[in-house]
Amino acid sequence: MLILIVLIACFIPTVWFQLSVRSVFYDAHVLGSTKYTIGLAATLVGLFQGAAAPLVYESLAEITYPLPESLSASVLVQLNNVTFLTLLFAVSGRYKIMNLLVVIAIGLSIVMAALARVSYKRRDEDERKKREGNDDTQLNNITSTIN
pLDDT at 48: 94
CA distances from 37 to 18, 49, 76, 107, 127 (A): 12, 18, 32, 22, 47
- Contact predicate 106/10, CB 8 Å: yes
Cβ neighbours around 23 below 10 Å, total: 18
pLDDT at 6: 94
Domain boundaries, the chain: 2-116, 121-147
pLDDT tens-place string over residues 102-146: 889 999 999 999 998 877 777 777 787 888 876 666 656 666 666
pLDDT at 132: 80
- Contact predicate 20/29, CB 8 Å: yes
Q: Which of 126, 2, 118 is nearest to 61 (CA)?
A: 118
pLDDT tens-place string over residues 69-109: 888 889 989 998 998 898 888 877 777 788 888 889 999 99
21 — pLDDT class (breaks 50, 70, 90): confident
First to last CA, the chain: 52
Is the pTM above the cut of 0.85?
no
Report the greatest alpha carbon distance in the chain.
87
